[in-house]
Structure 1
Amino acid sequence: MDNKQVKLTEDGLKQLEEELEYLKTKKRKEVSEKIKVALGFGDLSENSEYDEAKNEQAQVEARIVSVENMLKNAIVIDESERDTSKVELGATVTIHDIEFDEDITYKIVGSTEADPDEGRLSDESPLGKSLMGKAEGEMIDVDAPAGVIQYKILKIS
């Protein structure tokens, strides 16, 4: 198994724990019931419902192993001891996109928690990497497929 350290915020840890609980208690039972129902359809060699349920069971079990591994290797960021003079994991950062003249706010999180649509940006993404260690007022350049994008860091909290 992969023993890579997984950086999580308190919220991210809670979400993973809740997902694991759901998978182990509810989802396993749901899939087990689907398998039972599919077995009632008879001949397994031509039973697509059974094949589908067994595939879903394999996916659920793989996700359980993956989440357990992430939790085992989790490093929880203590947000109360963060230094807000520079961008680091757990920081909420407001940046100004120079080209589009708009402000965007992201929380910098580990890659397992990242969801840019929800305002959670991975510290391993190109923008996240560029922000790490920088201070308010600094300009950063981010290499993107469309070219270099320039941002100014407005606020770190």
Structure 2
Amino acid sequence: MERVPITREGYESLKRELETLKSVERPKNIKAIEEARAHGDLSENAEFDAAKDRQAFIEGRISELGFKLGNAEIIDTESVSRDRAVFGCKVLLENIDTGEEVRYQLVGPDESDIEKGKISVGSPLGKAIIGKSPGEEVVLNAPGGKRCYEIVDIL
């Protein structure tokens, strides 16, 4: 099985989510199923159906997180190179057309969150950035058209 790169922070976040599901969400949902079952007729019991659906979701997510954690390869982002863009580094980009600057951290697919400035190394922009150095151009063919960036700095 192929290992999936992840930062220490991302790995710990997945571990916390898994622990919460196992120690808080699962027991809480089991109790909800028991309470709904106590209401009698299960054929028309919406609470019971909802709790069973939630249980299926929780068990599926526990399984998914276990798989992801088992295949994760933690990359030490403190010792990454700063002379070219690599997994874990933060890059400062300038849109060549608008002059607007954006900052992204290159992370694994399970950590990407554009709102937090984290993009996957497997995304089109992530793939375009990897291996580039400050001063180099990055061209992205986006749905809205071609976008050109310059790598200003690697942080």
Q: Which amino acid aligns with 1:140?
A: V
Residue 127 (structure 2) pairs with residue 129 (structure 1): yes
Partner of 2:7: 9
Give the alignment partner of residue 74 of structure 1, picking from 72, 75, 82: 72
Distance 1:33 1:99 in 2: 57
The 1:100–1:33 alpha-carbon spacing in structure 2 relative to 1, beyond 3 Å, is farther
Segments of 5+ residues of structure 2 without an aligned counterpart are none
Distance 1:63 1:4 in 2: 20
What is the CA-CA distance between 1:29 and the residue it aligns to? 1.2
* Number of residue pairs matched by the alignment: 155
Partner of 2:137: 139
What is the CA-CA distance between 1:4 and the residue it aligns to? 4.1
Please give the TM-score of this superposition, normalised by the length of structure 1: 0.95
What is the CA-CA distance between 1:81 and the residue it aligns to? 2.7
Segments of 5+ residues of structure 1 without an aligned counterpart are none
What is the CA-CA distance between 1:122 and the residue it aligns to? 0.6
Q: Which amino acid aligns with 1:117?
A: E
What is the root-mean-square deviation of aligned Cα atoms in Å? Answer: 1.0
Deviation per residue, 1:8-57 (Å, 9 max, x gap): 10100110111111000000011112111111221111111101100100
Distance 1:132 1:52 in 2: 44
Partner of 1:100: 98
Partner of 2:24: 26
Deviates more, 1:62-71 or 1:73-82: 73-82
The 1:4–1:35 alpha-carbon spacing in structure 2 relative to 1, beyond 3 Å, is farther
Distance 1:50 1:100 in 2: 54
Q: Which amino acid aligns with 1:103?
A: E
